[in-house]
Structure 1
């Protein structure tokens, strides 16, 4: 039996992690949220669901079946909790979790990691299981103009400030002006807002930048970009998408690159310590590794 369990949310990431493990993992999801594995078999034959109100019995069950490692994968929303369903042991964790939730998403996730580790479960990042999901620094396609590079740099500064306040992981900047920032509704909502308000760009195309929050634990909630992100960025009339190199996963890399090429967008894994002027010359070399 496998010694690893995937705590799965929605989206493509759980399937990609399961594929990287050749199906040799238990897949567990919060009751009420669909987990799409698209035909990839998993240990036990099906996704096991659990309720947050019964977290301690769930953790005990993982240990009992020999699980020693867990990986969180996919988007997860805060479930609606039913006080009547709490067992005594899980109820004892509520004050701790509520305090973390009031401090923000990052604090909540750190608290969750700490609880799993108290059951001697090693928490791993999805990128540790499937390292090919994280591109190395470089321009994957398209050309980054000096104007684009300046907008990306400005967006990176904004995202760092947002992340320090535990608010979001993305921003859209056009001509040096911030058009939108990511908050609780997420990336798609931010890009949809940018599309509706594209007239505010005053002739500039603009860029979308994404990065983890400062000091974020990369084992959980690492930002991700998929083909639909590219489509949404194109509909907003942006010149391209950039992200912090080593800090963002590409879900379906081939599909992401093709979508960007079809739409004429650049994709840039930006090394925050590198000279941004290198981006244009890097683009001429073609696809980054």
Structure 2
């Protein structure tokens, strides 16, 4: 069963670090529903939504100095990270503060050379060293969390459960390497692992394999997305949206399985409509409890 997430108490204003996609908009709407007046930090060359209805500033991906100046000016007490980031910060992007140089040199190095989860942990560490509380987007928008069982009209059959088991084991092993969160299994065999290019590109590879006849036409297959073992749960939870459903269908898959309570379903109504229209299942898995990451 999914845990009930209560709205956190935020001292001062709430900030949202916004990357690509509609995800930050959903979080901003949820924040307003909780009577927050969120301040948007639109990440340069990443954020692609219209923020004209909010107080917002464009900031560079590694510009901690400007970020902290705005945090102090706007009395921001907590921030949420939401949205996709297509590239890692380079040395020219980093604008540190004296506090980060003195107290978090390892975090600065991790921003340049770590894996995805390592980079996000470093970012959280540096923000917290400046007295900024970091919240998970699901704490502000708990309705985005995936639920146990099928979301739409379709559910997995026996063959699908075999594929779910195989892909889940692969996703967990992949997550331990801090590389990706997803895997695809067809006919009980893992055929694709998510790399730095992301889920959609992985599904495109599967579609290509199927078009080339390298996958059995009678076996459809399943996409599974899970949290990485020990993942920092306040950042980068596995997420799916309507495009994921359409790309899974284009890859010839029968459905998608995500981790209930630790994955996000963006634009849920459209996800369900698309899954029903295309005859795919989208289901939430109850996995054994893991120690929370802090």
Compute the TM-score of the two structures, normalised by the length of structure 1. 0.86
Q: 1:137, 1:269 within 8 Å by CA — same for their partners in 2?
A: yes
- For residues 187 and 94 of structure 2, the distance between their equivalents in structure 1, rounded to whole angstroms, comes to 52
2:190 is paired with a residue of what secondary structure?
Answer: strand
User: Which structure is higher in helix share?
Assistant: 1
- For residues 137 and 124 of structure 1, the distance between their equivalents in structure 2, rounded to whole angstroms, comes to 23
Counterparts of 1:1-289 in structure 2, within 5 Å, are 3-22=13-32, 24-37=37-50, 41-42=53-54, 44=55, 47-79=56-88, 81=90, 83=92, 86=95, 89=98, 92=101, 96-99=107-110, 101-141=112-152, 142-198=154-210, 199-202=213-216, 203-273=218-288
- Alpha-carbon shift at residue 2 of structure 1 (Å): 6.1
Compute the TM-score of the two structures, normalised by the length of structure 2. 0.85
Give the RMSD, CA atoms, in angstroms.
2.3
CA separation of 1:145/1:29 partners in 2, compared to 1, >3 Å: closer, same or farther?
A: same
Q: Which region of structure 1 is more displaced relative to structure 2, 75-84 or 119-128?
A: 75-84
- For residues 94 and 54 of structure 1, the distance between their equivalents in structure 2, rounded to whole angstroms, comes to 15
- For residues 19 and 249 of structure 2, the distance between their equivalents in structure 1, rounded to whole angstroms, comes to 26
Identify unmatched segments of 5+ residues in structure 2. Answer: 1-10, 290-294
1:197 is paired with a residue of what secondary structure?
Answer: helix
Aligned residues: 270
2:214 is paired with a residue of what secondary structure?
Answer: helix
